C-alpha cells in the first residue's frame, strides 16, 4: 500500500492558534477520529541567519529567539543544527514538553525514529494535555505499521484539541491505509470544516476516492488540490510541493487507462 503521511502532518508545538480555532472548537467538540504520514513523505519560519553557527553561540540569546531559529532550521532541512538548538533549549528548560515534542519531530524527519519516540514519550509525561505530541507519536506508530496505537493517539489528540487539523488529516490517511474508506472521507471532511490546508485535504480525499473506485470524485479533488498546492517553496523540505508532485502522479495514473 502507498503510505503517505501528512508531514505538516507532524505538529510543531507552541504555535499561536489559528483565529478560527476558538469558534470551531464548539463545532468540533461533538466529533473525533485522524492519522499519519508516509515513510516516504515525513514532515514538519523564515530562513535562519547564521545557519553554520555553533549552538553555543545562542547561549546569551532569548529562549524565544533560539526556538524560532530551531524551527526555521528544521523547515530548511538542517536537522542536525535544529536538533542541537532544541537540545540547548531543553538544557535551559528541562520541563519544556513543547521542546521535547519539537525535537522528537526533527529526529523523526531525520530518520532517527527511536530518539523521536523517546522525546514524544517524555513530552507527554511532562504535559499529558499536549495534543501535538500525541499526533506526532501517532505518526511514529503509523510509520512502524502499528495502526491501532496510531489511531488511539490520534483520538487522544483530537479529544484534547478538536481543531488539530493535522491530526484529522493523519487519521484520515490511516483509515485509508486500513481500507476504511468511509471513515477516512469523514475525517477529511471534518478537516475541511477548519478552513486550512485545503490543498492537502483535497489531495488525500482524492486519493481515497481513487482507491475506492470513485474516479470522478477523485479527479475533481485532484484538480482542486492542484489549484491550492504551490509549485515552489522557500523551504527546502516543504511537504506541499512534494504533495503536488504526488497528486500529479496520481492523476496521471488515473487518467492513463483512458488515453
What's the whole-model pTM score?
Answer: 0.79
Query: Is the model's pLDDT at 210 over the cut of 60?
Result: yes
Q: Quick check: is 206 in a domain?
A: no
What average pLDDT does the structure give for the chain?
Answer: 84
pLDDT at residue number 185 = 98
How many Å is the Cα radius of gyration of the chain? 18
Determine what percent of the chain is predicted with pLDDT higher than 70: 77
Work out the pLDDT band at 234, boundaries 50, 70, 90. Answer: confident
Q: For residue range 23-40, what is the model confidence (pLDDT) as tens digits?
A: 444 444 444 433 433 333
Residue 194 lies in a domain: no
Per-residue confidence band for 9, with pLDDT thresholds at 50, 70 and 90: low
Instruction: Calculate mean pLDDT across residues 214-229.
Output: 97
| DSSP string for residues in the chain | ---PPPSTTS--TTPPPPTTHHHHHHHHTT--------SSS----PPPTTTTS-GGGGTTS-HHHHHHHHHHHHHTT-HHHHHHHHHHHHHH-TT-HHHHHHHHHHHHHTT-HHHHHHHHHHHHHH-TT-HHHHHHHHHHHHHTT-HHHHHHHHHHHHHH-TT-HHHHHHHHHHHHHTT-HHHHHHHHHHHHTT-S-HHHHHHHHHHHHHHHT-HHHHHHHHHHHHHHS-S--SSTT-HHHHHHHHHHHHHHHHHGGG-
* Higher local confidence (pLDDT), 168 or 4: 168
For 78-125, write each residue's pLDDT tens digit.
Answer: 999 999 999 999 999 999 999 999 999 999 999 999 999 999 999 999
Look at residues 1, 31, 40, 23 and name the one whose alpha carbon lies nearest to residue 237. Answer: 40
Question: Could you give the CA distance from residue 118 to residue 192 in angstroms, rounded to a whole number?
Answer: 32
Residue 145 in any domain: the answer is no
| pLDDT of residue 21 exceeding 60 | no
Q: Is pLDDT at 55 greater than 80 in this prediction? A: no
Range of the domain at 119: 44-128
* Domain annotation covers residue 258: no
For residue 39 the three cell numbers come to: 515513510
pLDDT at 243: 97
CATH number, domain containing residue 123: 1.25.40.10
- 203 within domain boundaries: no
Tell me which residue has cell 505530541.
Answer: 133
Residue 177 has pLDDT above 60, yes or no: yes
Average pLDDT over residues 70-74: 96
Average pLDDT in the 45-72 region?
A: 65
Tell me the pLDDT band of 58, cut-offs 50, 70 and 90.
Answer: low
Q: Domain tally for the chain? A: 1
Give 140 or 5, the one with higher predicted confidence: 140
196 domain-assigned? no
For residue 21, being part of any structural domain is answered with: no
- Within-domain flag for 104: yes
pLDDT of res. 143? 97
Amino acid at each position: 500500500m502507498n503510505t503517505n503521511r501528512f508531514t505538516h502532518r507532524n505538529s510543531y508545538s507552541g504555535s499561536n492558534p489559528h483565529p478560527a480555532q476558538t469558534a470551531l472548537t464548539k463545532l468540533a467538540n461533538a466529533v473525533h477520529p485522524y492519522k499519519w504520514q508516509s515513510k516516504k513523505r515525513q514532515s514538519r519560519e523564515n530562513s535562519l541567519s547564521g545557519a553554520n553557527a555553533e549552538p553555543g553561540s545562542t547561549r546569551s540569546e532569548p529562549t524565544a529567539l533560539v526556538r524560532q531559529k530551531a524551527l526555521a532550521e528544521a523547515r530548511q532541512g538542517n536537522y542536525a543544527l535544529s536538533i542541537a538548538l532544541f537540545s540547548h533549549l531543553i538544557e535551559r528548560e528541562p520541563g519544556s514538553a513543547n521542546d521535547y515534542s519539537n525535537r522528537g519531530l526533527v529526529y523523526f524527519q531525520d530518520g532517527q525514529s527511536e530518539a523521536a519516540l523517546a522525546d514524544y514519550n517524555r513530552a507527554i509525561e511532562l504535559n499529558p494535555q499536549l495534543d501535538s505530541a500525541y499526533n506526532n507519536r501517532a505518526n511514529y506508530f503509523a510509520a512502524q505499521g502499528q495502526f491501532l496505537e496510531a489511531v488511539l493517539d490520534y483520538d487522544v489528540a483530537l479529544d484534547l484539541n478538536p481543531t488539530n487539523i493535522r491530526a484529522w488529516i493523519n487519521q484520515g490517511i490511516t483509515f485509508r491505509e486500513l481500507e476504511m474508506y468511509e471513515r477516512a472521507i469523514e475525517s477529511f471532511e471534518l478537516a475541511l470544516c477548519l478552513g486550512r490546508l485545503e490543498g492537502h485535504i483535497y489531495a488525500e480525499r482524492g486519493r481515497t476516492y481513487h482507491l475506492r473506485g470513485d474516479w470522478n470524485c477523485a479527479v475533481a479533488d485532484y484538480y482542486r488540490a492542484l489549484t491550492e498546492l504551490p509549485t515552489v517553496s522557500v523551504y527546502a523540505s516543504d511537504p506541499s510541493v512534494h504533495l503536488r508532485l504526488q497528486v500529479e502522479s496520481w492523476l496521471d495514473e488515473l487518467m492513463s487507462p483512458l488515453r
